[in-house]
Amino acid sequence: MIKQGQKMQEKLRHIPSVSAVLSDTRISELMTEYSTAAITDLVREKLSQVRSTIDDESEVPTISQISDHVSAHIEQNWANWPTNVINATGVVIHTNLGRAPLSTESIQATIDSSKTYSDLELELDSGKRGSRHARISQLLSSLTGAEAGLVVNNNAAALILGLSTLALGKEVIVSRSEAVEIGGGFRIPDVLKQSGATLIEVGTTNRTYVTDYEKELNEETGAILSIHASNFKIIGFTASPSITELSILGAGNGIPILHDVGSGSLIDPTKYGLAPEPLPQESIDAGTDLCFFSGDKLLGGPQAGIIVGRKTYIEQLSTHPLARAFRIDKMNLAALTATLIHYLKEEAQNKIPVWQMVSAELEDLHRRADKLAIIIPSSNLYSVKVIQTKSTIGGGSLPGETMDSYGIQMKVNNPEKFARKIRTGITPVIPRIEKDAVIFDLRTILKNEDEALIASITHTLQN
């Protein structure tokens, strides 16, 4: 024991000192590039970690090894982030991958909006203070037929703002089939509680009628809330009232109808052979008082929560203190404006990546897959094949709906290991693993990523 203790003492004594590590050339270089204090802290942290983990078996690290570790830490953590990845999953709106990629025009708009000052909250004509919502409200009206619109940070915030403004201390009637979890722990009953409203569930899980809502109306009722089942499907013996029916009920009783349509597709997805989604313009047309949707799902824009509807309610929402807390920033506002203009120009399918992907022709995907698969070097250690596959919309839109697609299928020894390697490779690629094979679905791979994809696959195979 004593002998071992002495050995440890000896080891601890041989651990390089902070000043010795700091005088290493590589560390000195890092100190000219980065903050001296921050580099010193990193070195200290590393040395104290060495001190606390060293045991009989471990070797005392050299100064050079400690420098290696510090450099690696900096390279990994002190770099721009998020890292771009190639989405080969076939899931068009992938929340973990940042949802909708932006159009060229939207990207340019974010750059323009942030490189200098702007008239974000200034009326150039009068020189008076303006509202960041004025322009976007008009665009949203033109697109959806609503009287006014308001944009906040995301749809979750939009809902909390709407409910807090209109239903604080009041009852909100929701169908039992719609008091659901939307994803990432966002549960409608919790949202209501947070907004200070009381949830009144009506109907049953599969069937709810207008009369179920009607029976619960009283002087405590603040709103009727309808939520689109965006990430699940109830099929079979089902019934739910239309928004028109609910709107008639609401109008007759002076109760606002709030409709959360989720992905907020302004284009009818049935045009591309997909199932219908509630469109904001249809919701407004049906008489909804406030319609809520996301900016970065099927709309194909930046993260945002969009609310359209009656002017009186929009005004109430926009003056609530939470509207200030949830307000959208100028870059997202600029990107959203550019995205909405694509719809007004009827060029969404050609300009917005999400719609380019949804509308991509099967033959084109096939041709691209063939062209790329040929370039992948062959070997008897793995097989490469072009296969027909299925893409999905994802991101809480069109549950269970798939689109025929083409992909490159690679059968390798260890698909999980291969996937990990290509995720952490030169250009990270996120494939899908299906039936023990790695699949690269062409539908979600942007056209200008083809070359990088092949380089990544080749690199992964050769290393």
Ligand X SMILES: *Cc1c(COP(=O)(O)O)cnc(C)c1O
Query: Which stretches of the chain bind ligand X, using CB under 6 A?
Result: 154-156, 182, 186, 227-228, 230, 260, 262-263, 294, 305, 396
Cβ at position 303, least distance to ligand X in Å:
7
Would you list the DSSP string of 160-221? HHHHHHHHTTSEEEEEGGG--B-STT-BHHHHHHHTT-EEEEES-SSB--HHHHHHH-STTE
- Closer CB to ligand X, 322 or 362, in the complex: 322
Cβ at position 397, least distance to ligand X in Å:
7
Cβ at position 396, least distance to ligand X in Å:
4
Cβ at position 230, least distance to ligand X in Å:
3
Angstrom distances, CA of residue 40 to CA of 21, 31, 61, 64, 368:
9, 8, 18, 15, 51
> 434 by DSSP, 3-state: which?
strand
- Closer CB to ligand X, 170 or 228, in the complex: 228
User: How many Å apart are CA 146 and CA 314, to the nearest integer?
Assistant: 10
How much of the chain is in helix, strand and coil states, percent to nearest 5? 45, 20, 35
Which of 412, 404, 420, 423 is closest to 365 using CA atoms?
Answer: 404
User: How many Å apart are CA 178 and CA 262, to the nearest integer?
Assistant: 12
- Closer CB to ligand X, 228 or 368, in the complex: 228
Would you list the DSSP string of 375-420? HSPPBTTBEEEEEEEEEEEETTEEEEEEEEEEEEEEE-S-HHHHHH
Cβ at position 80, least distance to ligand X in Å:
24
Which of 77, 55, 50 is closest to 66 using CA atoms?
Answer: 50
To which residue do tokens 């039992």 refer?
A: 176
- Closer CB to ligand X, 155 or 391, in the complex: 155
Instruction: List the structure tokens of 137.
Output: 């409200």
Which of 233, 224, 214, 210 is closest to 174 using CA atoms?
Answer: 224
Cβ at position 451, least distance to ligand X in Å:
32
CA 133 to chain centre: 23
- Closer CB to ligand X, 396 or 431, in the complex: 396
Cβ at position 398, least distance to ligand X in Å:
11
Judge whether 211 and 268 are in contact, CB under 8 Å. Answer: no
Judge whether 355 and 361 are in contact, CB under 8 Å. Answer: no
User: How many Å apart are CA 424 and CA 455, to the nearest integer?
Assistant: 13
Which of 190, 193, 212 is closest to 203 using CA atoms?
Answer: 212
Judge whether 253 and 217 are in contact, CB under 8 Å. Answer: yes
Instruction: List the structure tokens of 378.
Output: 């062959």
User: How many Å apart are CA 462 and CA 439, to the nearest integer?
Assistant: 18
Cβ at position 380, least distance to ligand X in Å:
46
- Closer CB to ligand X, 263 or 405, in the complex: 263
- Closer CB to ligand X, 263 or 339, in the complex: 263
- Closer CB to ligand X, 66 or 227, in the complex: 227
Cβ at position 340, least distance to ligand X in Å:
16
Cβ at position 145, least distance to ligand X in Å:
21
* Positive/negative CA dihedral, 351, 357, 360, 366: positive
- Closer CB to ligand X, 27 or 197, in the complex: 197
Cβ at position 185, least distance to ligand X in Å:
11
Cβ at position 197, least distance to ligand X in Å:
16
Phi, psi dihedrals of residue 38, rounded to the nearest 5°: -70, -40
Rg (CA), the chain: 28
Judge whether 229 and 177 are in contact, CB under 8 Å. Answer: yes
